């Protein structure tokens, strides 16, 4: 919402010389945050001038320029040389004797355009005679501003013009416009009336000049007939509880709006259109009351306000045919023909056109929820709906209609109908109780002011503040003590006591423009903001002793740091994916990971699903890095994935302000799809970079398995890799990482070549994905430490020949099983394939390390243990000791 | 008893002649000194100290001497052997030291050649700033809660006093889960975890009774297009305290502490009235510019205003407490939430949101493991 400083000053006292920034600073204190400051770019001298003479000089290029002497009063060359200003002008729409606007050297126009003396077309030119666009004000660009024309409708102004006069205020230039952000609870601030009220509160001024405090002709029964027939109020609230209709006849709707009104509209960011439209817009900006103007001659019956009927349509002013919903509130002609969606937008048939002569002004109050729903249903947010859904003051309806009538009469030459229709079905505003001490209690603790209420939070101060807002405050409970009730806002009261007996509960009726004030804390915010949030002291609360981070947070940090330590870089990615991704990842038709949450309104229609695994989106990050020239990429992401399964949840949505019953709460919680925290890692390029010390080594499936095992170790877990077939991995290069109980915590390995082709990732890209929740569930038991033996370790090597298909992991498991209690470590140090072991066979060379807790092992003991291990491997997997 | 050595052979014992011994010693010392390598020295040692060396032979002769001459010759030969041995050792030590020094020189490498050791990875600054903030609050005894990203509409809105018809609900630019009446949304803020915490159905298994002091870091979603300053997926830190006697002053005290801990001592906050359905009274918080402290009208961090806007907050709305089954006449609370991207952009001079969200490893790499 914008507020031109001069307009604000019409409605409330603004200190002379106050700049836009000062006003913005005052408004922000009461909660109207500055969004922008406009205007004020033109800096003087800009004066009224009288053209003394004008010499036409045709140029070789066919143009004619005019060399002029201009009387600019006691400025410019008159000041320095005692002669009139010499100016070259290219416009033709003026003559000697005309009053014009002259910008003199030293001035700056919008855009930082500096004016200086120069020589042009053989003459000195000291300044410029200005057109409207050059000054950034509305008006056609066909020539320079001739003030006698410009002010022809304002004889008083015309008579006062004299050369040398400052033209800035005359043209509304140099004027600043403050733009503020209006929060959704303050609908009344979508008006100058509301902004002025807030400014008065911010500056503790009682100078508000309320534009709707005017004499209004009382309603009579000769006005245009209006019926309110709401058969289906939303939430029991009548869709329209006040409708004022006023007719103005013989209006020249093609008449130009007065310049001041056009200027105001332009300053507010609206385009002047025609008198009837401009008047409704201007009054809406002034008061916050949306108005509608009907062409009276297009109406055949009474205005009937009713809900839409099934199948009804209306072509709105934006030329869209709207299929109406039975919840839409309509303005209709005689109940039959829809004219407008109430409070949202009018229809084409009854629109005011250049041929309109008789106008019916509608000023009404519509139910915020009805308007909000229609606006959303039809995706039609308008200046009117924005105000109605945030609440419009229903008290001012008739006054604003009267203002419209008066303007149409004054500027459109119309005649006001004596009939005044005012269908008023409002219910009174309900007062509610307010414990006055709540303000102090909610703003600051007693100890911050020595146990005594701060002077501006005493009962009297609180009541005064509420009254300054426009609230009616009545004493509900009589107090034992004499309570001063009529103290001006901000006035201190002595001897305030913290004794609760001295505080009363009052009955508060908020003013009609504040439907957002509904309970005690609402009022406390008002008290706090009028007092100033800057007065709130800073008190650090003391929380009960905490237990530190949850195990889940600790584990997540540990895993993240481990991966970074292993050379991977943490990234984040958006969770949105395309349905085709699951095919690209090679998931078979029954893969549960195909069950993804679908968004009803995705940002991109191509990516309506949410990822079910981190690799879904992490591989895109890897690709981005490769496309940007990175060769060796190792990225990881820890984040939630959404796994709704095949039964998409549907959550109840019970109303606000009430704790749902347990069954409903359970239904809500259960409907939320499981979202485990996953860890994804993707790597391509070299694991060890090539360099002077040797050739590099590409990253392999084993590297990723190793990274996954390290993650397990970081959490105190021993994961076991088991060969697995799982998309999107290479079927021969994928390990499932299993917990001791067989639970699979995730997979690691090289990705399937087809997947890499489909996703445009480099060949041999490797990846792992682990479910951190599964790991966490298994981790966390305190480690029970083994005593350390200080006896010597004994090593012995053994080479075992097995079939090519036998995994090394199985061989190791067998060796461990057979080697006995003294086995300390098993290390695979060589794998040999070749003639010596035969085709389809491989030899695995292990070093077995033994140590006893209580003695030095003898060679005989070590050999016996080794033989037992070898025998176990022979039994389990047919391993033969290599000769 | 031995008689006179009738077998005495003056030629054979000539080795015991003092001059001869001295000559041998001189020759040995000369040979050792002349040895320039350990190999030369080994050859010299064999020649002058070996079993066939003149002094070794002389030593063997001593036994043949008459007793009267034995002691004298023995002393002479022993002294000579001692001198030779000492000289040998001295020269050996010299040559070994020379050799060791030479080897070290020969083994010199170019230590500026890039290491084949794998580079350290990096954390994402969003994670790092989250952890810093968590630590600040854990240090005050608060705990860390979390909740789901796909959330029940009731938790995201209704439990937080967003009436279905209130304009604030439409202003949240919500992603809805299909079908649109599923009652599920992508959470538009971390605030639903407030309700989950109070109702003890949060996913962080905090399960604690009142009072509650928790922070909730997490990812939230709004239907904004990605540009230099907006992202549809962003990170917030939510705070919630519900206890007896909490006031706006406690909210301000908490925020003051947080910005001092994150942006440096002396940083202060400013509250401005605002509106949020789930708080009343509500506020927005600015903190004093940590770069210029309001002293530079051309400051690029704060735009010269001296203040940096960073989040919404207020006293927990009565309806939020009621929705969680808590008596608002007994307990009060405050809640706050702020965007973490903004903290990173400000604190580290990031000018384009794309860098934060795209996953280019060069971005995270600048931050290493701590910020």
Helix (H) or strand (E) holding A11: helix A5-11
Q: Does B212 touch chain A (CB under 8 A)?
A: no
Among B131, B140, B173, B184, most A C-beta atoms within 10 A, so best to mutate, is: B184
User: A549, B146: Cβ pair inside 8 Å?
Assistant: no
pLDDT value at position B39? 93
What pLDDT is attached to residue A237?
A: 94
Alpha carbons within 13 angstroms on the beta-carbon side of residue B117 total: 4
Query: Which DSSP state fits A388?
Result: H
Look at A539 and B148 and tell me if their CB atoms are within 8 Å: no
The closest CB to that of B253, out of A538, A633, A648, belongs to A538
Please, which residues bridge with residue A683 across strands? A634, A766
Residue of B nearest to A543 (CA): B141
| Strand, helix or coil for residue B306 | coil
Res. A654 pLDDT band, cuts 50 70 90: very high
What confidence score (pLDDT) does residue B63 get?
80
> CA triplet A545, A548, A553: central angle to 5 degrees?
150
Which residues in B lie closer than 8 A to residue A665 (C-beta atoms)? 199, 201
Rounded to a whole number of angstroms, the CA Rg of chain B reads 45
Residue A138 is predicted with a pLDDT of 67
Q: Which of B144, B249, B270 sits opposite A444 (nearest CB)?
A: B249
B111 touches chain A (CB under 8 A): no
Report the SS3 class of residue B58.
Answer: helix
pLDDT at B206: 56
| Closest residue by Cα to residue A363 from A404, A328, A409 | A404
A349, A254 contact by CB (below 8 A)? no
* d(C-alpha A457, C-alpha A437), whole Å: 8
* pLDDT for the residue B11: 45
* Minimum-distance CB partner of A540 among B152, B253, B271: B253
Specify whether the backbone of B186 is left (phi greater than 0), alpha (psi in -120 to 50) or beta.
beta
Compute the distance between CA of residue B342 and CA of residue A393 in angstroms, rounded to an integer: 38
Query: Average model confidence (pLDDT) for chain A?
Result: 91
A485: Cβ contacts below 8 Å, ≥ 6 apart: A460, A463, A473, A475
Chain B interface includes A438 (CB < 8 A): no
What is the torsional sign of CA A113, A119, A122, A126? positive
- Name the nearest CA neighbour of A126 among A49, A22, A35, A195: A49
CB A675 within 8 A of CB A643: yes
CB spacing of A567 vs B153 below 8 angstroms: no
From A3, A696, A647, select the one nearest A288 (Cα to Cα).
Answer: A3
Residues A688, B359: C-beta atoms closer than 8 Å? no
| Chain B residues touching residue A541 (CB < 8 angstroms) | 213, 241, 243, 246, 250, 253-254
Cα–Cα distance for residue pair B37/A829, rounded to 1 Å: 41
Q: If DSSP codes are grouped into helix, strand and coil, which group holds residue A743?
A: coil
pLDDT at B15: 58
**Residue A491 predicted with pLDDT over 60:** no
Which pLDDT score, from 0 to 100, does residue A619 have?
98
Q: A82-86, A475-479, A727-731, A783-787: lowest mean pLDDT where?
A: A475-479
Residue A56's DSSP bridge partners are A66
How far is A277 from A384, CA to CA, in rounded Å? Answer: 13
In 3D, which of A843, A559, A857 has the Cα closest to residue A708? Answer: A559
Length of chain A (residues): 883
| The pLDDT of residue A490 is above 60 | no
DSSP state letter for A857: P
Would you state the pLDDT for residue A663? 93
Q: What is the rounded average pLDDT of the residues A579-602?
A: 96
Dihedral sign computed on CA atoms, order A800, A803, A809, A814: negative
Q: Give the separation between CA A17 and CA A209, rounded to whole angstroms.
A: 20
CB A513 within 8 A of CB A393: yes
CB atoms within 10 A of CB A830: 11
**CB contact at 8 A, B186 and A599:** yes
CB atoms within 10 A of CB A77: 21
pLDDT of res. A35: 84
Cβ–Cβ below 8 Å for A522 and B181: no
Q: Which residues of A touch B144 (CB under 8 A)?
A: 549-550, 553
For residue A283, the model assigns a pLDDT of: 98
Query: Under DSSP, is residue A343 helix (H, G, I), strand (E, B) or coil?
Result: coil
How do the pLDDT tens digits run along chain B, 371 residues long? 445 555 555 444 555 788 888 888 999 999 999 999 999 999 999 988 888 888 888 888 888 788 777 888 888 888 888 999 999 999 999 999 999 999 999 999 888 887 777 678 999 999 999 999 999 999 999 999 999 999 999 999 999 999 888 777 776 689 999 998 999 999 999 999 999 999 887 666 555 678 999 999 999 999 989 988 889 999 999 999 999 999 999 999 999 999 999 888 888 889 999 999 999 999 999 988 888 888 887 787 787 778 888 899 999 999 999 999 999 999 999 999 999 999 898 888 898 999 999 999 999 999 888 87
Q: Residue A544 is nearest to which of B126, B211, B232, comparing CB atoms?
A: B211
Q: Do B120 and A29 touch (CB under 8 A)?
A: no
Q: Cβ–Cβ of A573/B272 closer than 8 Å?
A: no
d(CA B178, CA A170): 59
Output the DSSP codes for A21-57. HHHHHHHHHTT-EEEEEEE---BS-EEEEEEEEEEEE
Residue A279: band (very low, low, confident or very high) from pLDDT cuts 50, 70, 90: very high
Distance CA A196, CA A737 (A): 68
Of A135-139, A238-242, A515-519, A525-529, give the lowest mean pLDDT range: A135-139
- Residue with tokens 């709006």, as numbered in its chain: A257
Max Cα separation, chain B?
139
Helices (H), chain B: 18-34, 38-49, 54-61, 67-106, 125-138, 153-156, 167-170, 192-199, 248-263, 318-323, 340-348, 353-357, 361-365
Closest CA to A754 of A576, A595, A539, A585: A585
Q: Annotate A861-875 with three-state secondary structure.
A: HHHHHHHHHHHHHHH
pLDDT at A781: 81
User: Mind listing the pLDDT tens digit for each residue in A229-256?
Assistant: 999 999 999 999 999 999 999 999 888 8
Question: Do the Cβ atoms of A436 and A465 come closer than 8 Å?
Answer: no
Cβ–Cβ < 8 Å for B215, B134: yes
- Beta bridge partner(s), residue A767: A682, A749
Region A385-411 average pLDDT: 96
CB B55 within 8 A of CB B29: no
Confidence of residue A122 (pLDDT cuts 50, 70, 90): confident
pLDDT per position as a tens digit, A618-648: 999 999 999 999 999 999 999 999 999 887 7
Q: Which sign, positive or negative, has the C-alpha torsion B278, B283, B284, B285?
A: negative
Q: What is the pLDDT of residues B280-330, one digit of tens each?
A: 999 999 988 888 888 887 787 787 778 888 899 999 999 999 999 999 999
Q: Residue A496's pLDDT is what?
A: 44
The helices-and-strands tally (H runs, E runs) of chain B is 13, 9
- Taking every pair of Cα atoms in chain A, the longest distance, rounded to a whole number of angstroms, is 128
Stated pTM of the model: 0.84
User: Measured in Å, how far apart are chain B's first and last C-alpha atoms?
Assistant: 97
Give yes or no for a contact between A366 and A404, defined as CB atoms under 8 angstroms apart: no
Q: With contact defined as beta carbons under 8 Å apart, do A82 and A74 qualify?
A: no
In chain B, residues 260-289 whose CB comes closer than 8 Å to chain A: 270-275, 280-284
Q: Which of residues 363-382 of A touch B (CB under 8 A)?
A: 368-369, 372-373, 376
Q: How far apart are CA B10 and CA B21, in angstroms?
A: 15
Tokens of A463: 């009541």
The percentage of chain A sitting over the pLDDT mark of 90, rounded to a whole number, equals 75
Residue B369: C-alpha distances to residues A121, A689, B120, B365 (Å): 69, 22, 9, 9
Looking at residue B21, what is its pLDDT?
85
Which among A724, A807, A733, A736 has a CA at the least distance from the CA of A763?
A: A733
> Is it the case that residue A498 has pLDDT exceeding 90?
no
Q: Min CA distance, B177 vs chain A (Å)?
A: 4
What is residue A218's DSSP assignment?
P
Residue A838 CB partners (closer than 8 Å, separation 6+): none
Q: Which residues of A touch B184 (CB under 8 A)?
A: 597, 649-651, 671-673
Is any Cβ of chain B less than 8 angstroms from the Cβ of A528?
yes
Give me the helix-helix angle, B54-61 and B67-106, nearest 10°. 150
Distance from CA of B102 to the nearest CA of A (A): 23
Coil, strand or helix: which one is B319? helix
User: Of the candidates B89, B72, B321, which has an alpha carbon nearest to the alpha carbon of residue A442?
Assistant: B321
**Owner of token pair 């981790």:** A779
A156 membership: H or E segment, kind and range: helix A155-160
Q: What is the pLDDT of residue B19?
A: 85
DSSP code string of B147-174? --SEEEHHHHTGGGT--TTSHHHHTT-P
Phi and psi, residue B346, nearest 5°: -70, -50
Read off the pLDDT band of A537 (50, 70, 90): very high
């Amino acid at each position: 919402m914008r507020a031109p400083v001069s307009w604000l000053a019409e409605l409330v006292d603004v200190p002379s010389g106050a700049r836009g920034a000062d006003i913005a600073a005052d408004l922000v204190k009461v909660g109207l945050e500055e969004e922008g400051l406009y205007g004020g770019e033109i800096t003087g001298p800009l004066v009224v001038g009288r053209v003394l003479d004008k010499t036409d000089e045709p140029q070789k290029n066919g143009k004619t320029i005019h060399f002029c002497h201009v009387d600019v009063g006691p400025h410019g060359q008159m000041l320095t040389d005692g002669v009139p200003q010499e100016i070259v002008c290219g416009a033709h729409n003026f003559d000697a004797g005309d009053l014009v606007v002259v910008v003199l050297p030293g001035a700056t126009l919008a855009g930082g355009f500096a004016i200086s003396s120069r020589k042009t077309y053989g003459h000195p030119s000291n300044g410029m005679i200005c057109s409207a666009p050059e000054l950034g004000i509305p008006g056609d660009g066909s020539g320079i501003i001739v003030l006698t024309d410009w002010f022809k409708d304002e004889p008083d102004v015309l008579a006062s013009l004299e050369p040398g006069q400052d033209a800035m205020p005359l043209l509304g230039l140099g004027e600043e416009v403050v733009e503020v952000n209006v929060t959704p609870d303050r609908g009344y601030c979508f008006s100058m009336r509301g902004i002025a009220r807030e400014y008065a509160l911010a500056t503790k001024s009682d100078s508000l000049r309320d534009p709707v405090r005017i004499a209004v002709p009382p309603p009579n029964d000769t006005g245009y007939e209006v019926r309110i027939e709401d058969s289906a109020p939303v939430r029991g609230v009548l869709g329209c509880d006040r409708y004022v209709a006023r007719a103005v006849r013989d209006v020249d709707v093609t008449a130009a709006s007065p310049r001041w009104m056009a200027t105001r509209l332009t300053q507010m960011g609206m385009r002047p259109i025609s008198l009837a439209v401009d008047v409704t817009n201007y009054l809406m900006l002034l008061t916050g009351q949306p108005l509608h103007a009907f062409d009276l001659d297009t109406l055949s019956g009474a205005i009937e306000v009713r809900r839409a009927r099934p199948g009804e349509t209306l072509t709105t002013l934006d030329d869209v045919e709207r299929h109406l919903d039975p919840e839409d509130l309509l303005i209709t002609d005689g109940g039959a023909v829809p004219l407008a969606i109430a409070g949202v937008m009018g229809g084409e048939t009854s629109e005011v056109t250049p041929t309109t002569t008789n106008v019916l002004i509608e000023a009404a109050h519509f139910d915020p929820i009805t308007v909000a729903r229609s606006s959303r249903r039809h995706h039609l947010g308008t200046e009117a709906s924005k105000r109605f859904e945030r609440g419009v003051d229903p008290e001012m309806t008739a006054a604003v209609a009267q203002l419209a009538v008066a303007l149409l009469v004054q500027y459109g030459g119309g005649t006001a109908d004596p009939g005044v229709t005012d269908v008023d079905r409002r219910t009174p505003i309900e007062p509610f109780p307010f414990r006055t001490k709540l303000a102090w209690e909610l703003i600051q603790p007693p100890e911050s002011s020595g146990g005594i209420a701060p002077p501006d939070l005493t009962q009297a101060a609180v009541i005064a503040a509420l009254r300054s807002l426009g609230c009616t405050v009545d004493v509900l409970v009589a107090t034992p003590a004499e309570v001063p009730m009529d103290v001006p806002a901000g006035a201190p009261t002595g001897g305030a006591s913290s004794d609760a007996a001295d505080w009363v509960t009052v009955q508060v009726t908020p003013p009609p423009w504040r439907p957002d004030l509904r309970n005690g804390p609402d009022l406390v915010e008002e008290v706090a903001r009028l007092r100033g949030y800057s007065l709130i002291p800073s008190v650090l609360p003391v929380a009960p002793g905490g237990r530190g981070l949850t195990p889940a947070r600790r584990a997540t940090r540990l895993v993240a740091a481990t991966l970074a330590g292993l050379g991977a870089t943490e990234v984040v990615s958006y969770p949105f994916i395309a349905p085709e991704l699951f095919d690209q990842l090679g998931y078979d038709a029954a893969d549960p990971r195909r069950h993804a949450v679908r968004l009803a309104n995705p940002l991109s229609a191509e990516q309506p699903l949410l990822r079910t695994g981190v690799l879904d989106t992490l591989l895109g990050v890897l690709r981005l890095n490769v496309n940007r020239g990175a060769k060796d990429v190792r990225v990881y992401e820890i984040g939630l994935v959404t796994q709704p399964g095949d039964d998409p949840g549907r959550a109840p949505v019970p109303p606000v302000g009430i704790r749902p019953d347990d069954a409903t709460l359970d239904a809500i919680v259960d409907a939320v799809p499981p979202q485990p925290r996953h860890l994804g890692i993707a790597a391509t390029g070299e694991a060890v970079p090539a360099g002077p010390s040797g050739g590099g080594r590409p990253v392999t499936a084993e590297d990723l398995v190793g990274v996954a095992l390290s993650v397990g170790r970081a959490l105190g877990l021993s994961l076991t890799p088991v060969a697995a077939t799982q998309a999107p991995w290479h079927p021969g290069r994928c390990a499932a990482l299993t917990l001791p109980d067989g639970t699979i915590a995730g997979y690691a390995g090289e990705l399937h070549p087809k997947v890499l082709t489909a996703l445009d990732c480099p060949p041999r890209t490797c990846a792992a994905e682990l479910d951190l929740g599964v790991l966490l569930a298994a981790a966390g038991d305190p480690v029970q430490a083994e005593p350390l033996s200080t006896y010597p370790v004994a090593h012995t090597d053994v080479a075992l020949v097995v079939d090519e298909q036998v995994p090394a992991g199985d061989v190791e498991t067998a060796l461990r099983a057979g080697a006995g209690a003294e086995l300390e470590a098993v290390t695979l140090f060589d794998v040999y394939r070749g003639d010596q072991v035969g085709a389809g066979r491989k030899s695995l060379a292990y070093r077995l390390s033994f140590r006893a807790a209580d003695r030095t092992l003898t060679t005989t003991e070590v050999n016996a243990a080794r033989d037992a291990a070898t025998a176990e491997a022979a039994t389990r997997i047919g391993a033969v000791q290599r000769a | 008893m031995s008689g006179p050595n009738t077998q005495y052979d003056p030629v054979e014992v000539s080795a015991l002649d003092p001059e001869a011994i001295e000559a041998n010693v001189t020759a040995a010392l000369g040979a050792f000194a002349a040895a320039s390598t350990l190999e030369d020295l080994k050859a010299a040692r064999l020649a002058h100290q070996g079993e066939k060396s003149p002094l070794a032979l002389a030593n063997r002769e001593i036994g043949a001497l008459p007793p009267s001459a034995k002691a004298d010759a023995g002393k002479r030969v022993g002294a000579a052997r001692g001198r030779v041995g000492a000289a040998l050792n001295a020269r050996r030590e010299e040559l070994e030291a020379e050799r060791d020094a030479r080897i070290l020189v020969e083994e010199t490498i170019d230590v500026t050649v890039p290491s084949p050791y794998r580079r350290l990875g990096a954390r994402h600054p969003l994670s790092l700033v989250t952890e810093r903030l968590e630590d600040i609050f854990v240090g005050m005894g608060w705990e860390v809660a979390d909740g789901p990203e796909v959330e029940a509409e009731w938790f995201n809105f209704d439990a937080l006093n967003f009436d279905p018809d209130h304009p604030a609900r439409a202003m949240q630019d919500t992603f809805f889960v299909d079908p649109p009446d599923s009652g599920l949304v992508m959470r538009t803020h971390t605030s639903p975890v407030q309700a989950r915490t109070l109702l003890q159905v949060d996913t962080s298994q905090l399960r604690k009774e009142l009072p509650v002091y928790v922070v909730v870091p997490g990812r939230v979603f709004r239907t904004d297009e990605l540009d230099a300053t907006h992202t549809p997926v962003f990170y917030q830190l939510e705070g919630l305290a519900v206890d007896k006697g909490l006031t706006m002053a406690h909210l301000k005290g908490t925020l003051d502490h947080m910005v001092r801990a994150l942006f440096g001592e002396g940083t202060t906050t400013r509250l401005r009235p605002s509106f949020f359905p789930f708080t009343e009274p509500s506020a927005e918080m600015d903190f004093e510019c940590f770069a210029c402290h309001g002293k530079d009208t051309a400051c690029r961090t704060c735009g010269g205003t001296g203040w940096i806007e960073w989040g919404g907050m207020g006293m927990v709305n009565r309806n939020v407490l009621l929705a969680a089954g808590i008596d608002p006449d007994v307990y009060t609370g405050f809640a706050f939430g702020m965007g973490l991207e903004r903290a990173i952009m400000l604190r580290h001079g990031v000018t384009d949101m794309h860098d934060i969200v795209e996953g280019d490893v060069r971005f995270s790499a600048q931050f290493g493991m701590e910020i």
